[in-house]
Amino acid sequence: MKIAFLSFYSGEVYRGVETFVHELGNRLVKMGHKVTVYQNGPELKGAGYKTVTVGLKINYKRLNTYVSFLNYYGRRVGFFALKVLKRIDKDTDIIFPTNGQWQALFSSIWAKIHRAKIVISGQSGPGLDDRINLWTFPDRFVALTSPQKIWAKRANPFVKIEKIPNGVDLTKFGDKAKPISLSLPRPVILSVAAFDFWKRLDLAIKAVAHLENGSLLLVGRGPQEEKLKKLGEKLLPGRFKMLSFPHNQMPGVYRAADIFTYPTVSWESFGIVLAEAMASGLPVVATSDPIRKEIVGRAGVLVNPTDIKSYSVALEVAHKLKWGKRPLYQAKKFDWDKIALKYEQLFLDLTK
């Protein structure tokens, strides 16, 4: 089977979507399928799939307006899609756009012309972007959680919905990884996310500032970097760091922490970092919403992070409780090897 992924940011940033494409692509290749990832950045280390780099210039310092289709990044993704669709093999069986809007629309038209099947996964989460994805009428829309599946059926009842979560590589993330060295007071509270407003990392800074002990490590990059740095240094002097690591070093980063926290908005689709943290044995303190409840289960504490006092208490509770192997057992539900088999079966069902 010939499968094409369109992943604009792959090779340039490494977030949830890019992790999804890399991990799934590699496993599909091992299953004997021909996988090509069309991306803007260079080939990723460890990529077993074929990489085609488009190499459009993009200004990552430019702030986004979040106007669908017309914003700067949306237009770049659309231009990328047009260039890619001129190069894709006409006998491709499955086309899998991952960046939505223009890319989803153009890919849908291409798939209908060339009689390919189009699959879109709900990486954006319940909201306008995935509503647009659904109304491009893919052959299958993949919801990552049960709440998202219910939402998707309401958003477009004419599209068939499959539920397949994102995953974690249990061979990379676990107690065998060597912790990195951190000069921070214990307990170390870790958050891994893009430094964007909707990740709400400022709430984590304020909550840790309410604790007498402990420190906060933020790992990532993004437009809110300077704002978060100033706030962290002001509220957590000597107890705060902001760092960035390539993904292959992240197992050691998780192992250096005591607690993982993720105060994201309720409409975020998943949060692969939650599965990575749990696989590394960390208890999780995250937003109390239906999606996070399904992912975290009994492996952490869920809270309304906008209530800073309650958030700080939740961090204390998570540190004091004895979690044992509970986080790891929860992470095993999201084993990439099992998830890749579900995607393979979906693709086979669509093409038979």
Q: pLDDT tens-digit profile of 64-103?
A: 666 677 788 889 999 999 999 999 999 999 999 999 999 9
SS3 label, residue 269: coil
- Asked if residue 284 and residue 159 are part of one domain, the reply reads no
Note whether residue 301 is domain-resident: yes
Q: Are residues 280 and 326 in the same domain?
A: yes
Same domain, 326 and 340: no
pLDDT higher than 70, residue 42: yes
Is there a single domain that holds both residue 208 and residue 312?
Answer: yes
Do 163 and 206 fall within a single domain?
no
Residue 106 confidence (pLDDT): 98
Tokens for 36, please give them.
Answer: 């090509």
52 in the same domain as 201: no
135 lies in the same domain as 272:
no
The 10 Å Cβ neighbour count of residue 306 is: 12
Question: 145 with 294, same domain?
Answer: no
- What is the per-residue pLDDT for 66? 66
Question: Within a 10 A sphere around the Cβ of 352, how many other Cβ atoms?
Answer: 5
The per-residue pLDDT for range 276-302, each reduced to its tens digit, is 999 999 999 999 999 999 999 999 999
Q: Are residues 339 and 329 in the same domain?
A: no
Taking residues 330-350, what's their average pLDDT? 98
On whether both 65 and 82 belong to a single domain, the answer is yes
Task: Classify residue 172: in a domain, yes or no.
Answer: no
In a domain, 180, yes or no: no
Average pLDDT over residues 19-38: 98
Q: Is 201 part of any domain?
A: yes
**Which pair of tokens denotes residue 86?**
């001129």
- Our measurement of the distance from residue 33's CA atom to the centroid of its chain's CA atoms, rounded to an integer in Å, reads 24
Count how many domains the chain has: 2
Instruction: Judge if 161 and 242 occupy the same domain.
Output: no
Within a domain: 216: yes
Q: Are residues 93 and 220 in the same domain?
A: no
CATH number at residue 229: 3.40.50.2000
Asked whether residue 181 is domain-assigned, the answer is no
- Other CB atoms within a 10 A radius of the CB of residue 134 amount to 23
User: Is 176 a domain residue?
Assistant: no
Identify whether 173 is part of a domain: no
Comparing 12 with 157, which gets the higher pLDDT? 157
Tell me the residue range of the domain where 104 lies: 2-167+335-351
Q: Measured between alpha carbons, how far is 5 from 39 in angstroms, rounded to an integer?
A: 8
